[in-house]
Amino acid sequence: MTPSTLRFFSGLALFCFLSVVIINICSHFGIVIFKSITFFFQAFVILMAIPLVNMCNKTMPNGSNGNLVHIFSATNGKYLFVLALITIYGFINFFYFIHKTKPFPRGEAPTDIVSGIFSSLQMVFAFLEYIIASALLKITYKQKVT
């Protein structure tokens, strides 16, 4: 991938992350968002992961301990704390919204609660994709310089 493509992926991942955060905040206030928007971002996060993971595999040096070690070593671990906070927040939100579905029959929870469930974990994956795209940008820049 070229640096311009990775910048594009980085921007898309950041846009997706911010959109999912807005969806999650709206879910807390009971603002109804269309289910299709929530599922669009879920599919978007999954589809965007495919080329990013493929690029991680291509840039990983021999004898590396895995993609995440490879990625976080490229960013010097500066995103690790923020990712940990987002992950903790996402899991707390996930279980909070799961708990909010208890009064409703199975499959009949309101849209804002369902959006909260899905957006809770989408935040984690969208931010992880942003980290991956940023790290790959640094890796490809270092490879072109040397």
Q: What is the DSSP string of 31-61?
A: ----HHHHHHHHHHHHHHHHHHHHHHHHHPP
Q: What residue numbers bound the domain in which 18 lies?
A: 3-144
CB 59 within 8 A of CB 140: yes
- The pLDDT, as a whole number, for residue 64 is 66
Closest residue by Cα to residue 71 from 58, 87, 90 = 58
Q: Find where tokens 């921007």 sit.
A: 11
Best CA proximity match to 97, nearest among 40, 38, 46, 41 = 38
Q: What is the spatial distance between Cα 109 and Cα 124, in angstroms, rounded to a whole number?
A: 23
Q: Give the single-character DSSP code of 116.
A: H
- 104 versus 38: the higher-pLDDT residue is 104
CA distances for 15 relative to 46, 57, 92, 98, 102, angstroms: 15, 24, 23, 26, 32
Q: What is the pLDDT of residue 101?
A: 93
Q: Which residues contact 14 (CB under 8 A, 6 or more apart)?
A: 130
Each residue of 62-86: pLDDT tens digit? 776 777 788 888 888 788 899 999 9
Number of domains in the chain: 1
Per-residue pLDDT reduced to its tens digit, 114-145 = 899 989 999 999 999 999 999 998 888 776 65
pLDDT, position 144: 64
Non-local (6+) Cβ contacts of 69 within 8 A are: none
pLDDT digits (tens, 9 = 90+) for 20-69: 999 999 999 988 887 788 889 889 999 999 998 888 888 887 776 777 78
Q: Does 146 score more than 60 pLDDT?
A: no
Cα(33)–Cα(24) distance, rounded to whole angstroms? 10
pTM of the complete model beyond 0.85: yes
